[in-house]
A and B are shown apart, each in its own frame.
Chain A
Amino acid sequence: MSVLSFQNISKSFAKKRTLDNFNLTLEQGEVYGLLGPNGCGKSTAINILANLLDPDSGTVTFNGLPHNRQSRRCLGICPQEIALYRDLDARENLSFFAQLFGLPRPRRLSRVTELLQLFHLEQFAGIPIHALSGGWQRRVNFAVALVHSPQLLVLDEPTSAVDMEARHELWHIIEQLRLQGCTILLTTHLLDEAEHLCSRIGIMKNGSILRQGTVLELLREVPALAIATIEGPEKHCLRARAVSLGWQMRSAAGKHICLMPQTQTLAQVVQLFSGLDLASVTVQPVSLEHAYLEVIDGWQAS
Chain B
Amino acid sequence: MKPAAPGSTLTEIMSQTWAISARIVREYSRQRRNLIFWAVFPALMLLLFASIYLNNAGTASSFDNTPAGILIGAALFFSCLGGTVSLIVTERERRTLRRLLVSPLHPAAYFLGVTLACCAVAAAQTFVVYLIAWLIGARFHGSIALGVAIIALSVCAYVGLGFFFGARFAKRAEDVNGPVAALGVPLLVLGGTFFPITLLPAFLLKLAFLDPVFHMNQALKRATAGETWWNLRASLLFLLAFAALSILIGIASYRQMLTEEKRA
Contact = CB atoms under 8 A, between A and B. Distances in A.
Contacts of A85: 23, 27, 94, 96
Interface in A179-224: 180-182
A103 B102 contact: no
A75 interface: yes
Contact of A87 (B16, B19, B27): B27
Contacts of A181: 1
Contact of B262 (A53, A87, A144, A150): A53
A148 interface: yes
A241 interface: no
A52 B263 CA distance: 7
B58 interface: no
Indicate the size class of the contact surface on chain A: 35 or more
Contacts of B18: 99
Contacts of B94: 83-86
Nearest to B16: A100
B139 to A, nearest CB: 38
B137 interface: no
A289 interface: no
Contact of A150 (B3, B5, B31): B3
Contacts of B30: 87-88, 128
B12 interface: yes
A79 B103 CA distance: 13
Given A52-B262, A54-B262, A73-B3, A101 B103 contact: yes
Interface in A69-83: 69-70, 72-75, 77, 79, 81-83
Nearest to A96: B23
A248 interface: no
A296 interface: no
Interface in B89-112: 94-96, 98-105
A84 B93 CA distance: 11
A241 B27 CA distance: 68
A149 B3 contact: yes
- What are the 9 closest A-B residue pairs judged by CB atoms, nearest first? A83-B95, A99-B19, A149-B1, A87-B30, A100-B103, A83-B99, A87-B27, A50-B102, A73-B3
Interface of A: 50-54, 69-70, 72-75, 77, 79, 81-88, 92, 96-97, 99-104, 107, 128, 144, 148-151, 180-182
Interface of B: 1-7, 12, 15-16, 18-19, 23, 26-27, 30-31, 94-96, 98-105, 261-263
26 contacts: A51-B101, A52-B101, A53-B262, A72-B102, A73-B4, A74-B3, A77-B102, A79-B95, A81-B95, A83-B94, A83-B95, A85-B23, A87-B26, A87-B27, A96-B23, A97-B99, A99-B15, A100-B100, A101-B3, A101-B104, A102-B7, A102-B12, A102-B15, A104-B4, A128-B30, A149-B1
